[in-house]
């Protein structure tokens, strides 16, 4: 695998931004690592989002994502979403939803032409805040992302208003306006189902000792009722990396990819 630190100017955010990128490498000489042995035209690509207290480096630092990706022959893009909740922020701090859902895939495909442009080979996943962001982005952009996964997702924005009211106000605006808006994953899921458009495949996990479990269960119930294809897991676990490192492997096994 190749690991790249990418710094570039975002026209949407009007500043320099960062993303770590893992690319499959055609090689037979990496001791202890899998590698692509056959020439391929394009790579499936996973956009992997961080949580509330972290940044674009955290998945590399806390998991073996590079090794897992090597075994699957998949490219992984880990962008810095700051403390944005992957939202076009009401306080003017940045249009992070637009950046993540539109500009970032376009820039990555421009820089790395072997990243697949196919919906069925473009995936997005995240943990906690990133689980919310991944779900919102995939449900609002189903023509771009064919599959989405949430680990311990902070899926209900009311949670943020209850615990960090000032932060939530700056990101989403008034609570009364945010509930039911395009930043409300539950509302977005309903609207997509009612639209008749193709829906992404969905994978969800949350630990039974995690305070966010209630919201994962509630969203799963809604998704099932609306006819989504959902793979749902809950098991012993809390909001910590030991579990996320395990479950990101399950996500990669669930995605429609294999060794190239």
For residue 40, being part of any structural domain is answered with yes
Q: What is the pTM of this model?
A: 0.96
In angstroms, how far is the first alpha carbon of the chain from the final one? 13
Look at residues 95, 141, 103, 140 and name the one whose alpha carbon lies nearest to residue 122. 141
Into how many domains does the chain fold? 1
Eight-class DSSP state of 18: E
**CA 197 to CA 226: how far, in whole Å?**
12
For residue 259, being part of any structural domain is answered with no
**Domain containing residue 115: CATH number:** 3.40.50.1820
Residue count of the chain: 260
For residue 104, being part of any structural domain is answered with yes
**CA 50 to CA 67: how far, in whole Å?**
18
**CA 68 to CA 124: how far, in whole Å?**
16
For residue 260, being part of any structural domain is answered with no
For residue 140, being part of any structural domain is answered with yes
Domain that holds residue 117: 2-254
Show pLDDT as tens, one digit a residue, over the chain (260 residues): 899 999 999 999 999 999 999 999 876 666 676 656 566 889 999 999 999 999 999 999 999 999 999 999 999 999 999 999 999 999 999 999 999 999 999 999 999 999 999 999 999 999 999 999 999 999 999 999 999 999 999 999 999 999 999 999 999 999 999 999 999 999 999 999 999 999 999 999 999 999 999 999 999 999 999 999 999 999 999 999 999 999 999 999 999 996 44
Sign of the CA dihedral with 27 first, then 31, 33, and 34 last: positive
């Amino acid at each position: 695998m190749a690991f790249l630190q990418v710094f570039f100017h975002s026209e949407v955010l009007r500043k320099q931004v960062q993303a770590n990128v893992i690319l499959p490498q055609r090689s037979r000489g990496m001791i202890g690592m899998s590698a692509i042995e056959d020439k391929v035209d394009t790579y499936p690509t996973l956009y992997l989002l961080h949580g509330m207290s972290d940044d674009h480096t955290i998945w590399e630092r806390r998991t073996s994502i590079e090794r897992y990706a090597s075994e699957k022959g998949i490219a992984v893009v880990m962008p810095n979403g700051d403390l944005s909740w992957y939202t076009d922020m009401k306080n003017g701090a940045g249009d992070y939803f637009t950046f993540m859902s539109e500009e970032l895939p376009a820039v990555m495909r421009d820089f790395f032409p072997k990243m697949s442009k196919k919906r069925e080979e473009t995936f997005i996943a995240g943990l906690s805040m990133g689980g919310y962001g991944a779900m919102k982005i995939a449900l609002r952009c189903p023509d771009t992302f064919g599959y989405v996964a949430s680990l311990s997702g902070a899926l209900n924005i009311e949670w943020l208003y209850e615990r960090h009211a000032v932060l939530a106000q700056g990101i989403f605006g008034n609570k009364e306006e945010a509930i039911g808006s395009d930043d409300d994953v539950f509302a977005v899921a309903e609207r997509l189902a009612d639209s008749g458009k193709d829906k992404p495949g969905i994978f969800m996990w949350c630990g039974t000792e995690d305070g966010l479990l209630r919201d994962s269960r509630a969203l799963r119930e809604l998704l099932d009722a609306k006819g989504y294809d959902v793979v749902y897991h809950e098991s012993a676990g809390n909001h910590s990396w030991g579990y996320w490192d395990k479950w990101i492997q399950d996500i990669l096994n669930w995605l429609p990819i294999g060794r190239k």
